[in-house]
Structure 1
Amino acid sequence: MTASTSPSARPASGVGRVLVVVYAILALAATGRSFYQIVSKFDEAPVAYSLSALAAVVYIVATVALVVPGETWRRVAIATIGFELVGVVVVGVLSLAAPELFGHASVWSYFGMGYLFIPLVLPILGLLWLTRRGRRARTADARAVASEDVRSA
């Protein structure tokens, strides 16, 4: 099996496509929200609006990383989505424990409550999917190598 036909090199399908679509929607929503907030009222809550911009960048990179095939982009997706999960949990806890730090809500405030908790659930699903897909790719690659060894023997 060549690198271009291995499961990790193929574009997402099924659950992967749903993840890509949801990440793309969040990327658009967070980008629009943060752009408006930063341009019109940044001085009111710079921390919250900067976090919204950070979330937008994370969602954009995650979307691209989920779409582009290959092991390198899979690793970028894992790192980005892992960062997202940590961010949502840390900001969620801080927004409950010390809401005065933020001034206004960000995408990740209250564990993404303003986005129906999708920012909390999505990275968990994304990491599970990436882990499962990576395991399948390694198994398929190992089978291909074994098959080539048998043919050449």
Structure 2
Amino acid sequence: MPIISSEPASARTSRTRMTGIGRVLVIVYGILALGATGRSVVQIIQDFQAAPVAYALSAVAAVVYILATLALVFSGSRGWYRVAWIAISFELAGVLIVGTLSIVDPALFQHPTVWSIYGIGYVFVPLVLPFFGLWWLRRHRPDAERA
């Protein structure tokens, strides 16, 4: 006999998505969002002229982490699920491109960004996290959970 619940299906789906590794991903993305936002605000306020490209990239990373955090929380819907894929894919491309450029041509990034040298200032979490995020999204498609 099926169990009947008074809570909406979307709430049940959201609750089951935010357990285990899903919850850890959201927490880590949230921490990176706070760290990157704080870093970029301080860099931009203190000395934006010293490294406008690097500091603007830190701000872009902050926005991406905020968006990825929100998208993971609400990824039970198709729209937010797509936003999560886009944000995390953009994050992966950003950390790979900026990380590679910061090694190949250090003059481009004389001041560090969140993604410099693949996120070395954040113990390489920015390099590893998008792989886990994309893996989790692939395993937790909204349509698959409703079936």
Q: With the length of structure 2 as denominator, give the TM-score of the two structures.
A: 0.87
Question: Would you say 1:110 and 2:117 are equivalent positions?
Answer: yes
User: Between the two proteins, what is the percent identity of the paired residues?
Assistant: 56
1:49 corresponds to: 55
Question: Would you say 1:94 and 2:101 are equivalent positions?
Answer: yes
1:138 corresponds to: 143
- What per-residue deviation string (whole Å, max 9, x for no partner) do you get for residues 24-74 of structure 1? 000000000000000011111111100000000000000111112312111
Structure number, greater radius of gyration = 1
Deviation, 1:10, is 5.1
2 CA distance for matches of 1:140 and 1:18? 19
Gaps of 5+ in 2: 1-7
The aligned runs of 1:53-68 (5 Å cut-off) are 53-68=59-74
- What per-residue deviation string (whole Å, max 9, x for no partner) do you get for residues 85-118 of structure 1? 0000000000000111122010000000110000
Give runs of ≥4 in structure 1 deviating > 6 Å: none
Paired residues of 1:52 and 1:106 also in contact (CA < 8 A): yes
Gaps of 5+ in 1: 143-153
2 CA distance for matches of 1:36 and 1:47? 15
Shift in alpha-carbon separation, 1:16–1:140, aligned structure 2, 3 A: closer
Counterpart code for 1:63: T
**Deviating more after overlay: 88-97 vs 68-77:** 68-77
Question: Would you say 1:26 and 2:32 are equivalent positions?
Answer: yes
Deviation, 1:120, is 0.4
Paired residues of 1:107 and 1:115 also in contact (CA < 8 A): yes
Paired residues of 1:6 and 1:140 also in contact (CA < 8 A): no
Deviation, 1:138, is 3.3
Paired residues of 1:9 and 1:71 also in contact (CA < 8 A): no
Deviation, 1:141, is 3.6
SS at match of 1:65: helix
Name which structure has the greater RCO, CA cutoff 8 Å, separation 6+: 1
C-alpha RMSD over aligned residues = 1.8
1 CA distance for matches of 2:80 and 2:15? 10
